Structure 1
């Protein structure tokens, strides 16, 4: 759904019309907020991101006429700001704490359940790239919650070998998460844990 007379308002905004900007802001902000909140789960941080996005829209208003779809442009900027916020969670304790404290997934919310499932499927795709024994070690230690000693006894290898497998697997997973998903690894692991998946937050 687009805003009635959107092109007219965009043209007006590009010339510095604040009233036109306000109308676009009032129309699109609720959808943007819902989109951001799905990932961030914090009222404060979601509001911050929405404000940052619209500030950028206003600052770059002169270029709006070159945009073929304002809605797509708006949501692309919002997605980038959202993922940047999740990246910052890796190094800024306040943001990380806010995200993790507020992130809970409702089992009755289809959209959020699908999002959690996407995380789980991504995890499985990465695990499928591991060597068979590394994958088995990961399964024993994380899915079945075996200790390193217990996993070593089951597989007939040393505990130090188990740890080496886990360290390598964790490095592969961390690299894939931060490269392909663009979010902090610690945040990704916490989201999985809170989504009800079998994988707890852990260090290798």
Structure 2
């Protein structure tokens, strides 16, 4: 694995992916989010494979990373909820008076996000949109597109990675847009 053996990586992915998703889901109670977190852990593992000690237990690494990511998410979610509560309180004090400039910024961000999704490779885009826009499970997507569930998982992993890379400069602004569009 340290040398970047793709066969070893595939073995670890095939062996641990489902169990890790269930493990993370025991913390988060959100299957899609759990899948996203586990996919990100595997992306990180692949990207940092050369930095892992040769005697590293991949199974222990994956479970520890899964637990830590889950707990971090829950901690961050608690912080987000506090921010939302503060926004709601502030909203009563004219905090949410939208100006035309703010509206234009939100529309610009929506366009940036749509463009990032549209720039995904065709298969990747289709799988991502079926997952996120239509809320289909990986199995349902695989059946609809007549591909394997693992292919669906890989395509979603690729989509998330590419979207994160493309949207990184806008991360803070997108988070605020998300808050406003989903909660207010």
Question: Which interval holds the TM-score relative to the shorter structure?
Answer: 0.3 to 0.5
TM-score (norm 2): 0.41
TM-score (norm 1): 0.37
Q: As a proportion of its length, which structure holds more helix?
A: 2
